[in-house]
Structure 1
Amino acid sequence: MHSTREEVDLRLQIATRTTGAEGVAVLELRDPTGEDLPMWEPGAHIDLALGTDLVRQYSLCGDPAQRDVWRIAVLREPDGRGGSQHVHETLDPGATVDVRGPRNHFSLRPSLRYVFLAGGIGITPILPMVAAAEAAGADWQLHYGGRSRKSMAFLGELEAKTGNRVSLHPQDEVGLLDLSGILGTPRPDTLVYVCGPEPLLKAVEQQCEGWPDGSLHLERFSPKEFDAPVRADSFDVELAASGLTLTIPPHRSILRVAEEAGVPVVYSCEEGTCGTCETKVLSGQVDHRDSLLNPDEQAANDAIFICVSRAACSRLVIDL
């Protein structure tokens, strides 16, 4: 299981709103009563409930030591599904929003060296990672790409970093990130962290195929594409904590069938990207169809995201 802290439901107030870059709103959220917010670690994100069936995830990009405020940055996506539009049009200072979290499936592991890569708004989870790596005395470098400088958020903060550890790659000036130059030589003492659009993630995955297992860590904004499920027919799922056994037909999720059976289920994205519905596996083999677990974590077969993943066997037992 990935998330190490208990999630909480909060109603927070927008304390400040600034422009981080072209089309990017930077929001600071506070508890209206002045209470400290829950602790979090680099890589964590929170859910914002923006309306009926409109829940979106945003990475925390501030300072984990600053307990009175959470900072997020939201890119306005006119062709998106409505979440970023809602944030940009309604969440002004003084407004309140329901929040759940924090949740972390992209945690920073200890290492002597790091290579961080960010594309566009993917800089948000990377920012606190860079600060943590620096505080730990690790050797690190950041390569940050975007369409243009005016579209790249937090440039001022990054340019204040000492030395030449931060490399900016505005596409209109220097083209795409030179991944073969950055990642061409595998390094056994180095971890690679990347967040950004899917083409960047796929390219980094290909470039890191020769790196040691466990070197690459990435976070996706949208779900991966998958082939057909391992099983084309129905399978049974025993919900050990509920004392129920359910039959999951093709084209129905474990989550939805369990919910219809009256089992309380906490979920958010239903795409296998947010991690809310992570459930412990007690026995059976999982057909992993999420965009969170790496190959080693999938092989452990101890967790399933029931919104998208299925059984690779006739009967699966989970802790639900």
Structure 2
Amino acid sequence: MVGADTEVVVIGRRELADGVLELILRGVDGELPFWRAGAHIELVLGEGLVRQYSLCGDSADSTTWRIGVLKEGPGSTFVHERVRVGDHLVARGPRNHFAFKEAPRYLFLAGGIGITPILPMVAEAEAAGAEWRLLYGGRRRSAMAFLDELAAYGERVEIRPQDEFGLLDLDSALSEATPDTLVYCCGPEPMLVAVEERCAALADGSLRTERFTPKPVVGADEAFEVDLSVSGLTLRIEPGCSILETVEKAGVNVLSSCREGTCGTCETPVLEGEPDHRDSVLTEAERADGGFMMICVSRARGLRLVLEL
């Protein structure tokens, strides 16, 4: 589950690249919750805005968090234009559905602001003495964040701005992946789809992705029933209405954020029934297990689900 709300104060603010802002956050009450590479936090920004940002600093630093914010959409525009050093914000989390796993070899693929969760992974891979390579693309060099930090890793990092090199050569990069290589990818949807297509033949679990926008929804919306084991309610989920919306209307409080299946905040235990997973968070193994579902977008494959709510 998502951790409790944490009040943080902005102690650092600087422009990392064109349209990318770095914020350094410190806990008002001292030590911040522990996190590992791949984790993100949610910032409560006011005016009904709650947005998720990957942590991209040093996970061993328990006193500060670092995030990179691309100016794109109302939430990030709020951060760029209104958040200043000294401001107090509420953060939720950290939460991690893009967890960094131990492996002898890694291939990291990042596009644009997708470099943020990859950056601490690179640091952990380096510290562990693993073999790794990073292919990092963006529209242009001036819009690509953290180039100064990545330069320290030398030739293991390939910087490929599109205006200089064209689209990333994913075929070449993935052709070198051995069976014991973990592939981590974060970036825009076309890049993720292209990587998923090319990795279809890899062993299950070899590719791990994180999305900032939801996958296209596949499947019809049929009505079904949900039994809530804790509250004792039985609810009918109508076509076009999510489980989350229905349980909220029934007075059941559920922590949620993105409402589009990308953040994992509304993850709910499934006690009976088969979920129709439509999120962009769970791995194929987690979907097959069926023990949890994101009730903001996912539905039922049958006529009934029993949820721990």
* TM-score range normalised by the length of the shorter chain: over 0.9
- Percent of residue pairs bearing the same amino acid type: 57
Q: CA deviation at 1:176?
A: 1.2
The one of 3, 8, 17 aligned to 1:7: 3
CA contact (8 A) 1:186 1:210 kept: no
User: What SS class does the counterpart of residue 125 from structure 1 fall into?
Assistant: helix
Alpha-carbon RMSD across the aligned residues, in angstroms, is: 1.1
> C-alpha offsets along residues 173-224 of structure 1, whole Å, 9 cap, x if unaligned?
1111100100135521000000000011011001111211110000001000
Paired residue total: 309
How do residues 222-261 of structure 1 correspond to structure 2 at under 5 angstroms?
Answer: 222-229=213-220, 232-261=221-250
CA apart distance, 1:167 = 0.7
Following superposition, the deviation at residue 233 of structure 1 comes to: 3.0
Hey, what's the Cα distance between the residues in 1 that align with 2:222 and 2:123? 48
Q: Secondary structure of the equivalent of 1:233?
A: coil
TM normalised by structure 2 equals 0.97
Alignment pair present for 1:319 and 2:302:
no
SS state of the match for residue 116, structure 1?
strand
Matched, 1:140 2:132: yes
Q: CA deviation at 1:293?
A: 1.5
Counting only pairs closer than 5 Å after superposition, residues 131-280 of structure 1 correspond to structure 2 as 131-161=123-153, 163-229=154-220, 232-280=221-269
Shift of 1:31: 1.8
Measure how far apart 1:290 and its partner are: 0.5
CA contact (8 A) 2:56 2:66 kept: yes
| CA drift at 1:32 | 2.9
1:97 aligns with 2:92: no
1:127 is paired with a residue whose SS is: helix
The code of the aligned residue for 1:99 comes to: A
**Structure 2: distance between partners of 1:16 and 1:42:** 21
Question: For the residues of structure 1 that align with 2:211 and 2:144, how far apart are their CA atoms?
Answer: 18
Aligned partners of 2:19 and 2:196: how far apart in 1? 28
Q: Equivalences for 1:284-299 in 2 at 5 Å?
A: 284-299=273-288
TM-score by length of 1: 0.94
Counterpart-to-counterpart distance in 2, 1:110 and 1:194: 16
2:37 corresponds to 1:42:
yes
- Is the partner of 1:70 in helix, strand or coil? strand
Whole-Å separation in 1 of the counterparts to 2:225 and 2:50: 30
Change (3 A) 1:64 1:186: closer
- Give the AA of the match of 1:32: V
Q: Quick one: which amino acid aligns to residue 171 of structure 1? A: Q
8 Å CA contact 1:8–1:102 kept in 2: the answer is: no
Residue in 1 that maps onto 2:21: 25
User: What SS is found at the alignment partner of 1:160?
Assistant: helix
Structure 2, gaps ≥5 residues long: none
Q: Following TM superposition, where does structure 1 have runs of at least 4 consecutive aligned residues deviating by more than 6 angstroms?
A: none
Match of 2:63 in 1: 68
Question: Secondary structure in 2 aligned to 1:164?
Answer: helix
Whichever residue aligns with residue 117 of structure 2, its letter is: P
Name the aligned partner's letter for residue 162 of structure 2.
Answer: Q
